[in-house]
Amino acid sequence: MTLFEKIAARKIPAEIIAEGTEWIAFRDIAPQAPVHFLVVPKHCIPRINEATASDAELLGTLLAAAASTARQEGLGDSGYRIVINNGTDGGETVPHLHIHVLGGRPMKWPPG
Ligand code: 5GP
């Protein structure tokens, strides 16, 4: 079981803020913005690089969940950033696909 599968199964505590049949959203343990949560599929895809065409519907569901949870968190008008880190150079540290949603402050571009 991956770390995020354990969170989805409530075997590891996390502040869960939204949930659907196929996904869960919870606050990041080390927030990088005033609002920082992760949207994670309950079924593990290790990273976006391993996603296939058969995952297309799930990937769409995850993006829609990120947006609806961002609105729920009050970010709909001020804006927010969505990030997916992939592999070593991408900064991935947990090998279970997750969408970062960050908001509550202006973001800089390009990222470091
Ligand atoms: P990555 O670096 O793989 O894109 O993002 C992994 C994220 O998971 C990091 O932002 C990290 O703070 C978060 N994280 C790691 N372990 C835990 C945990 O046990 N609980 C929660 N809520 N977040 C975690």
Q: Above 90 in pLDDT, residue 78? A: yes
Strands 80-83 and 99-103, bridge-based pairing:
antiparallel
Determine if ligand 1 sits within 6 Å of the CB of residue 87. no
34-56: average pLDDT: 98
Comparing CA positions, the residue from 9, 11, 3, 33 lying closest to residue 100 is 33
Q: Above 90 in pLDDT, residue 112? A: no
Determine if ligand 1 sits within 6 Å of the CB of residue 26. yes
Enter the pTM of the model: 0.98
Taking only the tens place, the pLDDT of each residue in 84-106 is 999 999 999 999 999 999 999 99
pLDDT band at 55, cuts 50/70/90? Answer: very high
CA 95–ligand 1 middle distance (angstroms): 10
pLDDT of residue 71: 98
Q: Above 90 in pLDDT, residue 26? A: yes
Q: How far apart are CA 92 and CA 19, in angstroms?
A: 23
